C-alpha cells in the first residue's frame, strides 16, 4: 500500500513536471495529462448499459451493487470501484466519464465505452450490449469532436499520449456455454479463437489508425470455475473445455501482441495476466486477505452461484454476505472492489511476471517521439 502511494505521488509529480516544462511550443500546455480511454465488458463497464435497451441480466444499477462506494448504484458490476477507476486515480485523473451517460459531454480526460456482456464478436449477446466494434465507432465520433474543438495538432497529441484499456474475450467464450452450444459449434476451438483475436486486432488497428499507441489489456479469466459456470454443471464441477479454450485464447493473445508491436509503428502494450491472478485468489484466498475465494457474496443457491444479486433477474431471492471484503467474488460473475484494487495495483506497476512488457505506469509516462522510451527497469 505504501509503495502504491509513493508511486502515485511520483507519477503525479512527473506528470506535473511534464505539463510545466512544456513539450515544445507553449500552445501545447493543454496536454498536462495523459487521457485514458476504456473499452470492453463488465469488468470495466461504469454504467453504459444503463442507457441502452437491454435487460437486468446486463445491468447492475440497483442495490446492492455499488454498496461499498457508489450511492446511488452507478451500474458497475461490483460492490464498488473497478480496475479502471483505480488506474485513473493512480494516473492523477478523475474517474473517467461513462460515454453513454447523457450528463457527460466533456471527455478530455478520456471516456469509458465498456459494456457489460460485450465481446469481440458482434454475435456475442447481440442486441443486449454495445459490442467492441461499436465501442470503436463511438471513439471515432469522439475523435471528430476533439478535432473540431481542439484542432488537429492537440488532438493528435492527446490521442497518441493516451492509454487505451481493454477487457475483452471472456463473453465470447461464456455466451456459447450459456446457450448450451457444445460448445462453439460450428467452429473448432482454433477457428473460434482466431475470430475473437482477429476482431480484437481489428479494433487495436482502428485505435492505431486514429493515432493511439499505448494499449493495456488483460488475459481472460479462468472462467471454467466461475461460480455461475459451476452452477449449471453436474456435481458443480468446473468446465474443462472452457478451461482449455481460455488458455488457448490467452496464448494466442500474447503472440498477437508481439506481432503487432513489430507491425504497427510506435505500438506499445501492457499485458496483465489477470487469469493467473484470479486463479491464485480462488485457490488460495487467505494469502490475499480473503476468507472465501470460490463463492459469491451476493446471489443465491450453493456458493452463491445463481446470478440473482439484487433480485431483478428473474430470481428474486438473494443473500448478501455480512462482510464483503472477506469475499473475492461479489456476484457469481464479478469480483469485489477489494480484488479490483489488488488487480489495478499489479496492472499499474506489478513486476514483469504479472504485467509485461511494460506496466501501465510506464505507458502513462511514455511521451512518444518527444522523449526517450523508458523500459520498466529504468524507472
Ligand X SMILES: *[C@@H]1O[C@H](CO)[C@@H](O)[C@H](O)[C@H]1NC(C)=O
As measured in angstroms, the least distance from the Cβ of 133 to ligand X is 9
- Kind and range of the H or E element at 362? helix 360-365
As measured in angstroms, the least distance from the Cβ of 201 to ligand X is 7
- Kind and range of the H or E element at 133? helix 132-150
Catalytic residue (one of 33, 41, 42, 249):
42
Q: Specify the DSSP class assigned to residue 68.
A: T
Diameter over CA atoms, the chain: 66
Torsion of CA 53, 57, 60, 61, to 10 degrees: 40
Note if 331 is an active site residue. yes
Among 236, 247, 276, 325, binds ligand X (CB under 6 A): 325
Asked if residue 299 lies in contact with residue 307, where contact means CB atoms within 8 angstroms, the answer is yes
Nearer to ligand X, 199 or 332 (CB): 199
Q: Is 68 in the site for ligand X (CB under 6 A)?
A: no
Measured CA to CA, the distance from residue 50 to residue 129 in angstroms comes to 10
Residue labelled with grid coordinates 448450451: 180
Asked if residue 37 lies in contact with residue 162, where contact means CB atoms within 8 angstroms, the answer is yes
Contacting residues for 42 by C-beta, under 8 A, at least 6 apart: 60, 77, 114, 115, 116, 117, 333, 334
Among 21, 105, 148, 180, binds ligand X (CB under 6 A): 180
For the purposes of burial, counting CB atoms within 10 Å of the CB of 169, is it exposed (0-12), middle (13-18) or buried (19 or more)? Answer: buried
Note if 42 is an active site residue. yes
Nearer to ligand X, 171 or 199 (CB): 199
Asked if residue 93 lies in contact with residue 104, where contact means CB atoms within 8 angstroms, the answer is no
Q: Is 182 in the site for ligand X (CB under 6 A)?
A: yes
Kindly indicate which of the ranges 117-125, 143-151, 294-302, 327-335 contains the residues binding ligand X, using the contact rule CB under 6 A.
Answer: 117-125
As measured in angstroms, the least distance from the Cβ of 193 to ligand X is 10
Q: How many residues bind ligand X (CB under 6 A)?
A: 13
Catalytic residue (one of 85, 172, 294, 331):
331
Nearer to ligand X, 34 or 321 (CB): 321
Alpha carbon distances (Å) from 184 to 1, 37, 226, 241: 42, 31, 18, 10
What sign has the CA pseudo-torsion 296, 347, 133, 95?
positive
Alpha carbon distances (Å) from 1 to 37, 98, 123, 180, 233: 26, 28, 41, 43, 39
Instruction: Tell me, residue by residue from 183 to 222, as one string, x for binding to ligand X by CB under 6 A and - for no binding.
Output: ------------x--xx--x--------------------
Q: Is 122 in the site for ligand X (CB under 6 A)?
A: yes
Q: Is 260 in the site for ligand X (CB under 6 A)?
A: no
As measured in angstroms, the least distance from the Cβ of 121 to ligand X is 4
As measured in angstroms, the least distance from the Cβ of 195 to ligand X is 5
Among 27, 94, 123, 283, binds ligand X (CB under 6 A): 123
As measured in angstroms, the least distance from the Cβ of 314 to ligand X is 15
Q: Is 263 in the site for ligand X (CB under 6 A)?
A: no
Among 26, 105, 323, 353, binds ligand X (CB under 6 A): 323
Q: Is 275 in the site for ligand X (CB under 6 A)?
A: no
Which residues of the chain form contacts with ligand X (CB under 6 A)?
121-123, 180, 182, 195, 198-199, 202, 291, 323, 325-326
The residues annotated as belonging to the active site are 42, 331, 334
Amino acid at each position: 500500500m505504501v509503495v502504491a502511494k509513493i508511486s502515485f505521488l511520483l507519477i503525479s509529480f512527473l506528470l506535473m513536471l511534464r505539463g510545466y516544462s512544456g513539450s515544445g511550443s507553449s500552445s501545447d500546455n493543454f496536454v498536462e495529462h495523459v487521457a485514458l480511454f476504456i473499452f470492453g465488458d463488465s469488468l470495466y463497464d461504469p454504467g453504459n448499459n444503463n442507457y441502452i435497451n437491454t435487460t437486468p441480466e446486463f445491468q447492475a444499477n440497483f442495490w446492492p451493487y455499488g454498496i461499498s462506494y457508489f450511492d446511488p448504484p452507478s451500474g458497475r458490476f461490483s460492490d464498488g470501484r473497478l480496475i479502471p477507476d483505480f488506474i485513473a486515480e493512480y494516473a492523477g485523473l478523475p474517474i473517467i466519464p461513462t460515454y453513454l451517460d447523457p450528463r457527460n459531454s466533456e471527455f478530455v480526460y478520456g471516456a469509458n465505452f465498456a459494456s457489460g456482456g460485450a465481446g469481440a464478436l458482434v454475435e456475442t449477446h447481440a442486441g443486449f450490449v454495445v459490442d467492441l466494434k461499436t465501442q470503436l465507432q463511438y471513439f471515432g465520433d469522439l475523435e471528430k469532436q476533439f478535432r473540431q474543438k481542439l484542432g488537429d495538432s492537440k488532438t493528435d497529441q492527446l490521442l497518441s499520449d493516451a492509454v487505451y484499456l481493454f477487457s475483452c474475450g471472456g463473453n465470447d467464450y461464456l455466451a456459447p456455454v450459456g446457450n448450451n452450444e457444445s460448445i462453439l459449434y460450428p467452429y473448432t476451438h482454433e477457428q473460434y479463437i482466431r475470430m475473437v483475436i482477429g476482431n480484437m486486432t481489428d479494433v487495436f488497428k482502428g485505435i492505431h489508425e486514429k493515432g493511439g499507441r499505448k494499449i493495456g489489456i488483460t488475459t481472460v479469466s479462468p472462467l471454467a470455475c466461475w461460480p455461475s459456470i459451476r452452477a449449471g454443471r453436474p456435481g458443480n464441477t468446473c468446465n474443462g473445455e472452457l478451461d482449455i479454450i481460455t488458455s488457448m485464447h490467452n496464448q494466442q493473445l500474447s503472440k498477437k501482441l508481439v506481432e503487432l508491436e513489430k507491425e504497427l509503428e510506435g505500438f506499445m502494450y501492457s499485458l496483465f495476466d489477470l487469469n493467473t491472478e484470479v486463479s491464485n485468489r480462488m485457490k488460495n484466498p487467505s494469502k490475499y486477505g480473503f476468507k472465501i475465494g470460490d463463492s459469491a457474496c451476493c446471489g443465491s443457491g450453493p456458493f452463491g452461484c445463481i446470478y440473482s444479486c439484487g433480485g431483478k433477474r428473474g430470481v428474486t431471492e438473494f443473500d448478501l454476505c455480512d462482510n464483503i471484503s472477506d469475499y473475492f467474488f461479489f456476484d457469481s460473475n464479478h469480483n469485489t472492489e477489494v480484488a479490483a484494487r489488488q488487480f489495478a495495483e499489479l496492472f499499474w506497476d506489478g513486476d514483469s511476471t504479472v504485467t509485461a512488457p511494460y506496466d501501465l505506469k510506464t505507458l502513462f509516462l511514455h511521451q512518444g517521439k518527444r522523449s526517450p522510451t523508458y523500459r520498466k527497469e529504468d524507472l
